[in-house]
């Protein structure tokens, strides 16, 4: 059963070494992510699943201790998923960037509350399959928590990665409102086709969360909402 969830964005710029001189611009976002993960720890789950967008070939699962790296972003920095004392067999396969950010967030907050599994979520996964996956995760243990990583639209300004699209602000507002209200129905209603057009990386993970949360009667708080660099970032905690 799902007892808690945290939703955080996953730009590599969250890692100060990657952001370099611009690191201070995301200090408030890092603080909000730490607060959201604190809600997960306080819930005392039996299992934490860390979900992040990944290409179809990299969906995992990734065991606790799986390695990740930010070398692809010009920084010689390595992480492990909730650093196990010894990396288990099969952990050699590297985490996708979203889960590497998740591993960094857990490392930064000193996660030790429960065993961890990483799961890549194919960004093209249809809504029905997302919901089914969420239900399966929630049924896997008595007390399940999710850390769901993903960004909103990348089209909020002319200099955004996806260039400006007038629909982006409305999509971000709807997604942030649904996450802040812990509203599975509203997350389910997010349009997958529009999300692809607006370069949303978090849609499939949020809909996995929606499937996991059905019947859980959780309440939510929106801890951060902004669009630095023209990309929608929001942080929410459900408990």
CATH code for the domain of 85: 3.40.830.10
- For residue 21, give both structure tokens: 């001189």
Domains held by the chain: number: 1
What residues does 80 pair with on adjacent strands? 67
List, in order, residues 6 or more apart from 151 with CB less than 8 Å away: 9, 10, 11, 200, 201, 202, 231, 232, 233
CA dihedral of 28, 34, 40, 46, whole degrees rounded to 10? 150
Vertex 51, ends 126 and 213: CA angle to 5°? 70
pLDDT at residue 91 in the model: 44
Q: How confident is the model at residue 84 (pLDDT cuts 50, 70, 90)?
A: low
Q: How confident is the model at residue 108 (pLDDT cuts 50, 70, 90)?
A: very high
Task: Report how far residue 179's alpha carbon sits from residue 221's, in angstroms, rounded to the nearest whole number.
Answer: 8
Mean pLDDT computed over every residue of the chain: 94
Mean pLDDT of 149-155: 98
CA dihedral of 180, 182, 187, 189, whole degrees rounded to 10? -110
Query: 156: domain range?
Result: 2-238
Mean pLDDT of 51-69: 89
E-strand spans in the chain?
2-8, 47-54, 67-69, 78-80, 116-122, 144-149, 220-226, 233-238
Residue 150 in this model has a pLDDT that exceeds 60:
yes
Mean pLDDT of 156-177: 96
Question: What is the value of pTM for the model shown?
Answer: 0.95
List, in order, residues 6 or more apart from 142 with CB less than 8 Å away: 1, 46
The Cα diameter of the chain in Å comes to: 49
Q: How confident is the model at residue 92 (pLDDT cuts 50, 70, 90)?
A: low
pLDDT at residue 137 in the model: 97
């Amino acid at each position: 059963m799902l007892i808690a969830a945290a939703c955080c964005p996953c730009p590599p710029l969250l890692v100060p070494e990657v952001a370099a001189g611009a690191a201070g611009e995301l200090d408030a976002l890092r603080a909000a992510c730490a607060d959201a993960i604190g809600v997960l720890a306080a819930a005392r789950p039996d299992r934490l699943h860390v979900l992040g967008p990944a290409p179809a070939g990299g969906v995992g699962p990734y065991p606790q201790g799986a390695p990740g790296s930010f070398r692809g972003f010009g920084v010689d920095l390595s992480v492990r998923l909730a650093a196990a004392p010894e990396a288990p067999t099969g952990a050699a396969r590297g985490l996708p960037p979203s889960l590497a950010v998740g591993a960094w967030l857990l490392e930064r907050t000193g996660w030790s509350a429960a065993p961890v599994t990483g799961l890549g979520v194919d960004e093209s996964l249809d809504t029905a399959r997302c919901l089914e996956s969420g239900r399966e995760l929630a049924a896997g243990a008595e007390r399940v928590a999710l850390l769901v990583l993903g960004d909103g639209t990348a089209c909020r300004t002319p200099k955004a990665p996806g260039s400006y699209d007038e629909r982006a602000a409305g999509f971000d507002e709807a997604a942030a409102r649904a996450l802040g209200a812990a509203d599975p129905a509203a997350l389910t209603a997010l349009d997958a086709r529009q999300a692809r057009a607006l370069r949303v990386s978090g849609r499939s993970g949020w809909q996995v969360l929606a499937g996991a949360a059905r019947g859980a009667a959780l309440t939510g708080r929106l801890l951060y909402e902004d669009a630095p660099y023209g990309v929608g970032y929001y942080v929410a905690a459900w408990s």
